[in-house]
Structure 1
Amino acid sequence: MTDKDEIDGGGGDMLLGVVLLYWTLHERLECLEPELSKQERVFLVRLSVPRRMGDLARLMQALPSTVTALADGLEARGLISRRRDPEDRRAWLLELTEAGHARRDGMLAHVERAMRETTGLPAADFDRFAELLTRIRDHIRADGLPKELPF
């Protein structure tokens, strides 16, 4: 009996595909940047542009105190810096340093390679899949994110 024989060919196939993609990518990406926690990696990815700590906490669905602790650790490693927000001198902006940009770029390149290899899709199909994932993400955001993200 093949795996295909155990699935209903419809919703079950889609669900299994999503679960297997997540599981495989999670395993492949877990070894990425082992000296950084999963939250620190998400922090770097989310810091594509300078952001206020409160905005970053909202995007990460994390407590401001968690973002402060993460920022402290990443700043100590030289990956981010803080500067006053010119629009509100009471607030701080977090931004990637040159080393932080390099680390973020390397992580994103690794993620794309892992996605391409894991899906096994030809380039045109992969590009379409990436577009669809972005649309799915935007739709979920518009409806409201789940109460807690799994990372």
Structure 2
Amino acid sequence: MNDSENIDSLHGEMTLSIVLLYWSLHDRLDCVSPHLSKQERLFLIRLASPLRMGNLAKIMQALPSTLTTLADGLEAQGLVQRQRDPDDRRAWLLELTQTGHAARRELLESAGLALREATGLPDADLETFSALLFRIRDHILAQGLPKGMPF
């Protein structure tokens, strides 16, 4: 095997490993709060602090109408509430209720456990992995989010 084939194989294996990690995490997190859809779980994770609906739609790369539907469902479940934006009374802020904060904490704890289980990495390696992931995320965000992302 020549160097070019080794590099091709390495890049292919890295890509397949990333996909495998994604699906492993996806599978583990599907069991968390099964009454919530994947989009609703991402919504709760993204809503760390009150946000305008338009800003949240932009962050999640969702149509405002889609976000409104998600917010309606989560509001009906008592997980989010709408408040008028004190800086602009025409706009609405979405914020987590106490129940929503508890659900978000459960999701984040489960995500951390899922990452540990999926990777099998010790804490020190997870810290290094996290630092690399944040660098990758920042690089991707600087270039612009890929179209069609679910969040």
State TM-score, norm by structure 2: 0.92
**C-alpha displacement at 1:9, in angstroms?**
4.9
Q: Residue by residue, what CA displacement relative to the aligned partner does 1:4-56 show, whole Å, maximum 9, x if unpaired?
A: xxx96521221121011011111111121110111111110110110000000
Q: Aligned partners of 1:103, 1:150: CA distance in 2, in Å?
A: 20
Which of structure 1's runs of 4+ aligned residues deviate more than 2 A? none
Instruction: Provide the aligned length of Structure 1 versus Structure 2.
Output: 145
Q: Aligned partners of 2:30, 2:126: CA distance in 1, in Å?
A: 22
Q: Aligned partners of 1:71, 1:145: CA distance in 2, in Å?
A: 23
- Cα pair 2:53 2:64 within 8 Å, conserved: yes
Listed as ranges, the gaps of 5+ residues in structure 1 are 1-6
Listed as ranges, the gaps of 5+ residues in structure 2 are 1-6
Letter in 1 for 2:47: L
Q: Aligned partners of 2:60, 2:26: CA distance in 1, in Å?
A: 18
Letter in 2 for 1:10: L
Q: Residue by residue, what CA displacement relative to the aligned partner does 1:83-142 show, whole Å, maximum 9, x if unpaired?
A: 110110000000001110000000010010010111011110111101111111111011
Match of 2:78? 78
For the aligned residue pairs, the C-alpha RMSD in angstroms reads 1.4
State TM-score, norm by structure 1: 0.92
Aligned-pair identity (%): 64
Q: Aligned partners of 2:47, 2:30: CA distance in 1, in Å?
A: 20
Q: Aligned partners of 2:65, 2:8: CA distance in 1, in Å?
A: 46
1:26 aligns with 2:29: no
What SS does structure 1 have at the residue aligned with 2:95? strand
Q: Aligned partners of 1:102, 1:78: CA distance in 2, in Å?
A: 11
Q: Aligned partners of 2:120, 2:34: CA distance in 1, in Å?
A: 25
Letter in 2 for 1:81: Q
Q: Aligned partners of 2:83, 2:132: CA distance in 1, in Å?
A: 36
- Cα pair 2:47 2:96 within 8 Å, conserved: yes
Match of 1:47? 47
